[in-house]
Structure 1
Amino acid sequence: MPRISLSQRIFLVVLAVAVVFAIFETAFVQHFFRNYIVEKSSTKVMAIAQRVSHDQDVIAGFGASDPAAVIQPIAEQYRIISETSYVVVFNMDSVRYSHPVADRLGQRFVGGDERASLEGETYISKAVGTLGLSIRAFVPVLDESGHQLGVVSVGLLLQDLDRETRRIGVVLLSVAAVSLGVGLIGALLLSRNIKKIIFGLEPHEIATLLEERNVIISSIKEGIVAIDRDERIILINDNARRLLDINDQVEGRLVTEVIPGTRLPEVMRTGIPHIDEEQVLNRTVIIVNRIPLKSRSETIGAVATFRDLSEIRALAEELTEVRQYTDALRAQHHEYLNKLHVVSGLLQLGKHDDAVRFIVKTVSVQQKVFDILRTRVREPDIAALLLAKINEAQEANIELELSERSLLPTLKTEAVPSLVTIIGNLVQNAIEALQPLGRSGKRILVECFIAGGRFIVRVEDNGDGLDPQVRGHLFERGFTSKSAGGNMGIGLSLVQMHTTMLGGMIDVSEDHGVVVTVTLDCSMVLGTQECGSEYPEETA
């Protein structure tokens, strides 16, 4: 069976409603009008009957030798003028003195509803007389002394009333037919307009598109939040709920109430998209795209898509660790190759004792580094990072030292990548700050310790300090005081991001160089037991 189109459905529904409405309207109005006619007719016949009953000629006719000869002409005159069906006057024995049909004069009144009027009552009734079913009024005729002489009955045949009602019904049906025609034209135009608004799609096609849309949105790994022009949420998918930790029904609510600090309203107002911006959301690093929604060059809302960078970051950090190990091996290879050349030269010169002393000194220095890393740094990833940076610094004639009072216990698994990023970037910045300086005695000190329930990382160098113009822009993404391009300028912004994730803060000061102190929430970095073991800060 072919599917009925939306326009056909609308047309048929409107047609059915219009037909039913026309039928009920005609029936109701006709019924109402009939009742109105009956009510007005009752009032009319009563008024005529009362007037006839007070007519002195009619009263005098009751005393004539032939009452019918006197009363009949008067009654007929009243009937014709009032356009009633009949005006009947009868005596106390129900004998008629007037009737529209002259042959029925002198006969008894028919209907049986006249008895009360013979007892002096005035009323209206509906009964079948010689002319048919009628509405008739009964009014007693009294002489001057109040003695009842007879009764006047004035009536209207219901068939005459029904004829008038049918005439009105025909008019109503004509009006209803015209209304129905107008309604059908309106239904046709409405169905076409609705079809145009929904791009010519049928309901089942819209339902299919909606189902496909929901499936696609649910399968997207990115979180999606969309708002309308009133800044109210119109769409939020499951991944967005997960990342934002939202369980309630939030569609229809202001986005600023649900996501404090969101910049979606700003994007909608300015029309300027924000592409690939990194931020911390619920202590999770995400990358966000915010784009205004436009329809016919008019901004009607905005949409934000964001994704968790933890997986990407984990992969990048694995690659970073490999690079760090490679750098460490390269630096060690270069350093030991130079030292082997020294040993080889001393041996060739016959200075065996000097060669032995050089070897012992070299081994003792390296052993000291290994001992410090092994005893004070229990996290393998951090130890490997520091070893790589120590060797890199040595290549640049920079002494990188981990203070003997430093302690870095085993970290929470989820905190390791952030600590690698924080320490690695701070040390790398210090190396790059000292490297261009053409002097000896360049030194970097790294400290990690627990104090006051906080985990503190401090990196200080003895360089030339910060340019005042640079200080205010240190943590801006993309800002760098170096001339290199590419990915330069994101190190300290990453440090700030990961510090925020771990509930911490950064302080930058100058003391014969630059001192960067990162204070973290100990409970987010270490276990509760480790946080209870404090190593108070000492004066160097």
Structure 2
Amino acid sequence: MKILHLKLGTKIAMLSFLLVLLSVFLAGVIIVNQISDKMEKEIGHRAMAIARTVAQLSEVQENLSKSEGSKVIQPLAERIRLATGVEYIVIFNMEKTRYSHPYLDRIGTVFNDGDEELSLQRKEYLSQAVGVLGPSIRAFVPVLADEGTRQVGVVAVGILVPTIREIISTIKTELYSSILIGLILGGLGSFYLASNIKKNMFSLEPNEIARMLEERVAIFQAMDDGVVALDMENRITVINEKACRIVGISEKEVGCRLKELPAFNALNDLLVANDPTETTELILNNTWVFVDFLPVRVKEQIVGRVITLKEKTEVRKMAEELTGVKTFIEALRVQNHESLNKLHTIAGLIQLGKADQARDYIYRVTEEQQEVTRFLSSKIRYPNVAGLLLGKYNRGKELKVDVLFDPDSNLSELPEGFDSSTLTIILGNLLENAMEAVVGSKLSEVHCRIKYEHHELVLSVEDTGSGISSENQAKIYQWGFSTKGNGNRGIGLSLVKQTVDLLGGTIELESGKWGTRFGVRIPLNKIQA
């Protein structure tokens, strides 16, 4: 048997129309029942009023005790019945003998329908019964003579109850027109609802939506980068497996805010401090990651952001190699600038006829540059670190800052797993901060030392600046904190602190009016890959 597959819009329209049809039918049944109830109450009141009127007639009261009383009572009852339009008026005495009835052959017979007993006890009431003429509501009223002191009989007035079919036939025009209007409006509303829902679902069927969702989830989970989607309250709405692995959480954490998850502390601090838009380097769950931020827009309104997490593995190596190349380029640029200045000095001395002074100046400059280059080449084995130091030395020359290297400095060997490029992060930021601290000072010197002490790699950078206040010393490692203004400031020392912590090392800070010294100690036996 072939199963008929209907489209979603058709199913919604049919379901909505069936609901409307059921509602209209139930409403019709309720209305007819209410009309029936009201008609029964009205019939009861009418029958009771007629019965009371008849029971008050003196002709009835006086002739119920006479054997020939039906000759007076029957014509009277018939006139009233015809005038009021009721189905029957039956009057019987205390022995239940009928004195009136629409059918003459019933006069003189005994009234024995079973619901008349209470009326013989001077009680009036309504009763529903199926009589000779059909189902009816009848009112029983006792006939009292001698000013109400003696009961002589009972008046029973019956009015036939209309059937449901008769009620519907009475109001069929109004009922059918109401049902028709309801069905038309319901049908139009059903098709509009179905089309509107289909439009909001981009005219896709449920199986198509399910397939697209499965594909999107598969693509999302297959991404090589970690992806975390946040709402405007920094609550996680979506996270893929790679992001869970990087930060060490499960997908059950979806719905939590970043501040509720310790693994996201560094990221949450960054979001609270400012609204980042550039790629940032952070440590999450003891893992170096590059973090990118992208706003999520729905109909041109920002409703959240997507954060991508890239592990700093091959990307880190490539970036740091590029950083080393950039350092060499910067060193060459500064060196070229210095060389031009020196050439101008030499040309000026020659033009002034001071050839001896020009020759001495050439020897002195050449010897100084060769000495620094020779020192770094022999003491620093790793080219990216040597290039960084040479670049900072030449950068110092440009800023009128003397960058001095301790003669005992040595970086000959690093254990396996220690990335020499990591030193460029630490040394680069410390040297740059130190040079900025002494620019414009009377004594503008920066001292740098790299050596081994008791299975530790010791890095020391000291400047002759004005020092760091005790209040700022507690804040300098906070992300975004800087005494030099806003912008991209306040990141260097935070990165240094994160890097040293990851390597299991410590940072010592000494500062006073004489200047500032940063001492970094990294235990060689605790270095992490």
TM-score, normalising length: structure 1: 0.65
Deviation at 1:121, TM superposition (A): 4.9
Deviation at 1:49, TM superposition (A): 2.5
SS at structure 1 position matched to 2:98: coil
Do residues 111 (structure 1) and 86 (structure 2) align? no
CA distance in 2, matches of 1:400, 1:243: 40
Do residues 236 (structure 1) and 235 (structure 2) align? no
Do residues 29 (structure 1) and 31 (structure 2) align? yes
Contact 2:64–2:92, Cα closer than 8 Å, also in 1: no
Counterpart residue number, 2:217:
214
Deviation at 1:410, TM superposition (A): 8.6
Q: In the TM superposition, what whole-angstrom CA distance separates every residue of 1:33-91 from its partner, at most 9, and x where no partner exists?
A: 33443344334433432343233332123256742343234434543555432221122
CA distance in 2, matches of 1:58, 1:509: 128
CA distance in 2, matches of 1:266, 1:154: 92
Counterpart residue number, 1:100:
102
- In the TM superposition, 1:300-311 aligns within 5 A as 300-311=303-314
Deviation at 1:502, TM superposition (A): 3.9
Counterpart residue number, 1:128:
130
Q: In the TM superposition, what whole-angstrom CA distance separates every residue of 1:490-534 from its partner, at most 9, and x where no partner exists?
A: 9877545412534644647589997431256899549xxxxxxxx
Contact 2:32–2:167, Cα closer than 8 Å, also in 1: no
Counterpart residue number, 1:334:
none
Counterpart residue number, 1:183:
186
Deviation at 1:280, TM superposition (A): 2.5
* Alpha-carbon distance change, 505 to 43 in structure 1, aligned in 2, over 3 angstroms: farther
CA distance in 1, matches of 2:230, 2:492: 34
* Alpha-carbon distance change, 159 to 224 in structure 1, aligned in 2, over 3 angstroms: same
CA distance in 2, matches of 1:523, 1:58: 127
CA distance in 2, matches of 1:460, 1:254: 40
Counterpart residue number, 2:368:
none
Counterpart residue number, 1:56:
58
Contact 1:225–1:233, Cα closer than 8 Å, also in 2: yes
CA distance in 2, matches of 1:126, 1:431: 109
Contact 2:138–2:157, Cα closer than 8 Å, also in 1: yes
Q: Which amino acid aligns with 2:225?
A: E
SS at structure 2 position matched to 1:286: strand
Contact 2:385–2:424, Cα closer than 8 Å, also in 1: no
Match of 2:142 among 132, 140, 144: 140
* Alpha-carbon distance change, 182 to 257 in structure 1, aligned in 2, over 3 angstroms: same
Do residues 245 (structure 1) and 248 (structure 2) align? yes
Contact 2:65–2:93, Cα closer than 8 Å, also in 1: no
CA distance in 2, matches of 1:32, 1:65: 46
Q: In the TM superposition, what whole-angstrom CA distance separates every residue of 1:200-247 from its partner, at most 9, and x where no partner exists?
A: 222222111111111111111222222334554322222222233333
Do residues 41 (structure 1) and 60 (structure 2) align? no
Number of corresponding residues: 442
Identity of matched residues, %: 30
* Alpha-carbon distance change, 77 to 384 in structure 1, aligned in 2, over 3 angstroms: farther
SS at structure 2 position matched to 1:183: helix
CA distance in 1, matches of 2:465, 2:139: 117
CA distance in 2, matches of 1:152, 1:321: 120
SS at structure 2 position matched to 1:199: coil
Deviation at 1:109, TM superposition (A): 3.4
* Alpha-carbon distance change, 387 to 282 in structure 1, aligned in 2, over 3 angstroms: closer
Do residues 167 (structure 1) and 160 (structure 2) align? no
* Alpha-carbon distance change, 38 to 456 in structure 1, aligned in 2, over 3 angstroms: farther
Do residues 288 (structure 1) and 291 (structure 2) align? yes
Q: Which amino acid aligns with 2:170?
A: R
Deviation at 1:196, TM superposition (A): 1.8
SS at structure 2 position matched to 1:97: strand
CA distance in 2, matches of 1:72, 1:265: 102
* Alpha-carbon distance change, 276 to 430 in structure 1, aligned in 2, over 3 angstroms: closer
CA distance in 1, matches of 2:192, 2:288: 54
Q: Which runs of 5+ in 1 are unaligned?
A: 325-365, 374-382, 434-440, 482-488, 527-540
SS at structure 2 position matched to 1:274: coil
CA distance in 2, matches of 1:278, 1:70: 117
CA distance in 1, matches of 2:33, 2:306: 60
Do residues 4 (structure 1) and 6 (structure 2) align? yes
- In the TM superposition, 1:414-453 aligns within 5 A as 420-421=423-424, 425=428, 444-449=448-453
CA distance in 1, matches of 2:446, 2:273: 48
Contact 2:467–2:514, Cα closer than 8 Å, also in 1: no
SS at structure 2 position matched to 1:275: coil
Do residues 155 (structure 1) and 178 (structure 2) align? no
Contact 2:320–2:421, Cα closer than 8 Å, also in 1: no
Q: Which amino acid aligns with 1:143?
A: A
CA distance in 1, matches of 2:324, 2:318: 10
Deviation at 1:443, TM superposition (A): 7.7
Counterpart residue number, 1:458:
459
Deviation at 1:255, TM superposition (A): 4.4
Deviation at 1:256, TM superposition (A): 4.4
TM-score, normalising length: structure 2: 0.66
* Alpha-carbon distance change, 219 to 506 in structure 1, aligned in 2, over 3 angstroms: farther
* Alpha-carbon distance change, 113 to 307 in structure 1, aligned in 2, over 3 angstroms: same
CA distance in 2, matches of 1:112, 1:430: 114
SS at structure 1 position matched to 2:135: strand
Q: Which amino acid aligns with 1:445?
A: R
Contact 2:382–2:420, Cα closer than 8 Å, also in 1: no
Contact 2:503–2:526, Cα closer than 8 Å, also in 1: yes
Match of 1:192 among 190, 195, 198: 195
**Pairwise CA RMSD of aligned residues?**
5.1
Q: Which amino acid aligns with 1:206?
A: I
Do residues 205 (structure 1) and 208 (structure 2) align? yes
* Alpha-carbon distance change, 427 to 151 in structure 1, aligned in 2, over 3 angstroms: closer
SS at structure 2 position matched to 1:20: helix
- In the TM superposition, 1:385-396 aligns within 5 A as 385=382, 389=386
CA distance in 2, matches of 1:170, 1:192: 33
Q: Which amino acid aligns with 1:281?
A: L
SS at structure 1 position matched to 2:167: helix
Counterpart residue number, 2:282:
279
CA distance in 1, matches of 2:77, 2:519: 123
Contact 1:401–1:446, Cα closer than 8 Å, also in 2: no
Deviation at 1:175, TM superposition (A): 1.9
Counterpart residue number, 1:337:
none
